[in-house]
Amino acid sequence: MIKSGIVAGLKPDEIRDMVPKDTWLVFSGWSEAHSPKKAGSDAMTAEQYRELVERVDGN
């Protein structure tokens, strides 16, 4: 569909309007799921670290 729109000389906005909105939701969801996480996004907070130290050391 996109390829035939390009051949027909349609502008990107016109092609985008022809594609169902669900398609863009799928593309964005796939992209989000397969993008690398930001560095440190899974790191503990300072409070979580203190709680871990208390559980391990008892202090």
Phi, psi angle pair for 9, to nearest 5°: 85, 20
Structure pTM? 0.36
Parse the chain into domains and list their residue ranges.
1-35
Tens digit of pLDDT at every position of the chain (59 positions): 555 656 577 777 777 777 777 787 888 888 888 888 888 888 999 999 999 999 998 86
